[in-house]
Amino acid sequence: MDETELLKKYNSLYLEIIMKYKDYIEEQEGLYVAELPKLVTPSDESVKGLAAIIASKFQDYNYADNFYDAAQLSYEFVRDSITNVTLPIQFWLKPSLTINYAAGDVFDKAVLFCSLLIALGNPSTKIIIVIDENRRSFVVYFEFKEKITAINIEKGISPFQDREELLKSLGVAEKSEASAYEFNDRMYTDIA
C-alpha cells in the first residue's frame, strides 16, 4: 500500500473516532461567549514570532509609521497562508495551533489576525461577531490615526469614520434581531 492510500485510511479512521465522540468533545471544548477573550493570545510565542517576521519586512518597524502596512501584510498572510478548514465538530483553535497547522476556519483566522495586530502594537484591535438566523460573520477592526479599519477575512478591508458607522454597516442596531459580540484579549461586550 502506498503512502497516500495509508494516509487516506488513517484520516478516515480518525474522522470515524471524532464523529463517535463528537458530543463529548464539543461539551468539553465548549466556551461561554464571555470566555472568548481567552482565545486571543498576542503574548503567545508563536504569535509574537509571526509578528516579528511581519515587522522585519520594514527596515526599522515603527508603530506610528508602519502599523497600517503591517496590518495589511498580516491580513494577506492570514488570508493566503492559512488554509480554510471547517471541522465536523465545534472546536476552538488558539492562534498557535492555527499557525502550526496553517489551517483553521474563518473564526480561527479572525482570532489569529486580531492576536497579530495586538502583538504589532495596536491594543484597540477587536473582533465583532454578528449572528442572526441567516448568517454568522466575523470582522476584525482597529482604530489607527483617528480612523476605523474593518477587515473581513473573506471579503477584504473597509475604512470607516467611526465605530457607529461600522456597526451600521454590519446591520447591528438597537432593534436588530441579530446578536453581536465584541472582544479582544482584555474585554468582552454584548453589543446587540
Residue 30: phi, psi to the nearest 5? Answer: -55, 135
pLDDT of residue 21: 67
Which residue matches cell numbers 458530543? 23
Report phi then psi at 189, rounded to 5: -145, 135
Fold of the domain spanning 34-190: C8orf32 fold (3.10.620)
Average pLDDT score over residue span 1-16 = 75
CA angle 168, 108, 79 (to 5 degrees): 80
Angle at Cα 22 formed by Cα 134 and Cα 86, nearest 5°? 50
| This prediction's pTM | 0.85
The better pLDDT of the pair 119, 31 is held by 119
* C-alpha torsion angle, residues 39, 41, 44, 48 (rounded to 10): 140
Read off the pLDDT of each residue in 84-99 and give the average, rounded to a whole number.
83
Measured CA to CA, the distance from residue 181 to residue 189 in angstroms comes to 6
Q: Is 99 exposed, middle or buried (0-12, 13-18, 19+ CB in 10 A)?
A: buried
Asked whether residue 31 carries a pLDDT value surpassing 70, the answer given is no
Q: Given this model, what pLDDT does residue 29 score?
A: 61
Q: Do the Cβ atoms of 74 and 89 come closer than 8 Å?
A: no
Cα–Cα separations (whole angstroms), residue 66 to 3, 70, 121, 142, 151:
46, 6, 10, 14, 18
pLDDT at 188: 92
Tens digits of per-residue pLDDT, 156-176? 999 999 999 999 888 886 656
pLDDT on residue 26 = 57
Domain residue spans in the chain?
A: 1-30, 34-190
Q: Is the pLDDT of residue 24 over 70?
A: no
CA–CA separation, 44 vs 62, rounded Å?
Answer: 21
Contact 89, 26 (CB under 8 A): yes
pLDDT at 107: 92
For residue 51, the surrounding DSSP H or E stretch is: helix 45-55
